[in-house]
């Protein structure tokens, strides 16, 4: 009988020390001992990418994109080698591969590349030799042989893309949390762990600030109908299944974005500037009339290039509500927040999303209020109904 292929991804916290890499190796071995082929994708050790980014910033506030990719890709190379060494020591055959050794070909967009293809033969040869294949996440190379990276959270994308292109039976994403929550549990103590979430809601959560899964990873899983399970490296719980099956929650969850800046543009130049942002690879978290909101690391880039067309810059935060039934919330929430001394600077509604622009100091209070009013109450009502039926 043909062996099942499992792709497992371990994030930076999971491989943050030699001791943790040892535990990852033991978990990989357990999967291998179940008679399955295993491909492992790892991130850089926690804090390493930030350290490398900081070094680049000391040299140049706007470093060359190609050279930045060369630098940042070094973090994952350390992790794959250490994990392979650990597996060797424990008596298992393993081979570590950088993105380019794995034949991961991307487009030419440095710092935000997209995977186009992989070297199937390389993986097939190693797996048929009963090896555990360890791949550096977050990276690949373009057609010119230049190193490219996939953007923050890109190891998730590497794992799901490999799982899809290799025809894996399952993709498991191991993180420092035990699944996908209705809101960041560090902000909302009563956040609810979701047993499952559908692709569309997970995409909306990821796009608007939820950090558990990288957006391109969810998009790829949706395209290939590949179920992804989010698990904790430190817990035996079953985690959250990201799947095509539709969600029944009227309000699924909240996504938060900090370190965002609101930029007021000269009205006559706004449309041209928005188009220019897209060409520059600047992500707009907000665009309403002559107002945009961007990440803090993009502010200096825009100020440097468009200073004469920028009227004002101010720190803000965004809170995005994701769900299937948001009409009532959108009609009431701004007044409800104002009654609690939380002012909504701006808002918009589209499809399964309501997005609010807030002062940074109001974000956590707003998240706790909305979660209590629109998620916890409906969750416990639904739970009570289910128990009555049973």
The rounded percent of the chain whose pLDDT value lies above 70 is: 96
Q: Which domain holds residue 85?
A: 5-176
- Structural domains in the chain (count): 1
SS3 call for 64: coil
* Inside any domain, residue 124: yes
pLDDT at 42 over 50: yes
Residue 56 CA to residue 71 CA, distance in Å, equals 8
At 101, which CATH number?
Answer: 3.40.1160.10
Q: Point out which residues pair with 350 in neighbouring strands.
A: 353
pLDDT, one tens digit per residue, over 234-247 is 777 788 999 988 77
pLDDT, one tens digit per residue, over 315-328 is 999 999 999 889 99
Of 82, 86, 79, nearest to 42 by C-alpha is 79
* Inside any domain, residue 49: yes
pLDDT at 384 over 50: no
pLDDT for res 270: 83
pLDDT at 386 over 60: no
- pTM for this model (two decimals): 0.80
Q: Which residues of 52-62 are buried (b: 16+ CB within 10 A; e: fewer)?
A: bbeebeeeeee
Q: What is the DSSP letter of 326?
A: -
* Inside any domain, residue 271: no
* Inside any domain, residue 150: yes
Stretch 253-269: mean pLDDT: 90
What is the number of other CB atoms lying within 10 angstroms of the CB of residue 388? Answer: 7
pLDDT, one tens digit per residue, over 132-163 is 999 999 999 999 999 999 987 889 999 999 99
pLDDT, one tens digit per residue, over 181-226 is 999 999 999 999 999 999 999 999 999 988 888 888 899 899 888 8
State phi, psi for 36 to the nearest 5 degrees.
-115, 150
* Inside any domain, residue 296: no
Mean pLDDT of the chain: 90
pLDDT for res 33: 95
* Inside any domain, residue 192: no
* Inside any domain, residue 73: yes
* Inside any domain, residue 232: no
């Amino acid at each position: 009988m043909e062996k099942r292929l499992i792709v497992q991804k371990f994030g930076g916290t999971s491989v943050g020390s030699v001791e943790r890499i040892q535990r990852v190796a033991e978990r990989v071995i357990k999967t291998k001992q179940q008679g399955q082929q295993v491909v492992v994708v790892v991130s850089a050790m926690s804090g390493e990418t930030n350290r490398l980014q900081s070094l680049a910033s000391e040299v140049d506030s706007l470093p060359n994109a190609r050279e930045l990719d060369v630098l940042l890709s070094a973090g994952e190379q350390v992790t794959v080698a250490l994990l392979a060494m650990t597996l060797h020591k424990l008596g298992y055959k393993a081979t570590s591969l950088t993105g380019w050794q794995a034949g991961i070909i991307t487009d030419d967009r440095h710092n935000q590349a997209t995977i186009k293809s992989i070297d199937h033969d390389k993986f097939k040869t190693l797996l048929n030799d009963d090896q555990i294949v360890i791949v550096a996440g977050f990276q690949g190379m373009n057609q010119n042989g230049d190193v490219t990276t996939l953007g923050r959270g890109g190891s998730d994308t590497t794992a799901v893309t490999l799982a899809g292109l290799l025809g894996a039976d399952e993709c498991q994403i191991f993180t420092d949390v035990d699944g996908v929550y209705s809101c960041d549990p560090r902000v909302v103590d009563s956040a609810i762990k979701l047993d499952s979430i559908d692709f569309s809601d997970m995409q909306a959560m990821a796009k608007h600030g939820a950090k558990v899964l990288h957006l391109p990873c969810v998009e790829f899983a949706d395209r290939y109908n590949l179920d992804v399970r989010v698990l904790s490296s430190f817990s035996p719980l079953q985690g959250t299944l990201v799947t095509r099956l539709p969600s029944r929650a009227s309000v699924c969850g909240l996504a938060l974005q900090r370190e965002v800046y609101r930029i007021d543009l000269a009205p006559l130049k706004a449309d041209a500037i928005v188009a220019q942002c897209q060409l520059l690879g600047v992500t707009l978290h907000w665009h309403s009339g002559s107002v945009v909101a961007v990440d803090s690391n993009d502010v200096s880039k825009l100020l440097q290039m468009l200073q004469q067309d920028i009227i004002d810059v101010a720190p803000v935060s965004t809170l995005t509500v994701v769900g299937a039934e948001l009409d009532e919330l959108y009609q009431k929430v701004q007044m409800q927040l104002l009654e609690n001394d939380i002012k909504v600077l701006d808002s918009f509604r589209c499809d399964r999303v309501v997005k609010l622009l807030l002062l940074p100091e109001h974000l956590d209070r707003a998240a706790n209020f909305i979660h209590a009013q629109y998620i916890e109450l409906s969750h416990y009502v639904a739970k009570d109904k289910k128990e009555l039926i049973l």
